[in-house]
Amino acid sequence: MLREDFGFTGTKYGCGEGQCRACTVLIDDQPKASCLTPVSSVEGMSVTTVEGLASSDELTSMQQAFIDMDAAQCGYCTAGMIVEATALL
């Protein structure tokens, strides 16, 4: 739903089992695998994708660190790693 209905393409569908975490989003500031989270279970909650971490045209320090350290690799799961790392810190 995030990608197809709302156009948030940063969140990737990976394994569909919550193992790869490429689909990680923050739900009320807690990291969750979106592939295992029914939309009905987040009613009234805050859902933040990687696109929602930055404000305006400025990246967060975590997003910038991934760029500065060439941490993207192929880039498929990078958004999930950034969201998880943001929640960790």
Write out pLDDT tens, residues 31-89. Answer: 999 999 999 999 999 999 999 999 888 999 999 999 999 998 788 999 999 999 999 99
Residue 16: other Cβ atoms inside 10 A: 11
Domain-wise residue ranges, the chain: 24-88
Q: What is the pTM of this model?
A: 0.90
Report whether 37 contacts 45 (CB < 8 A).
no
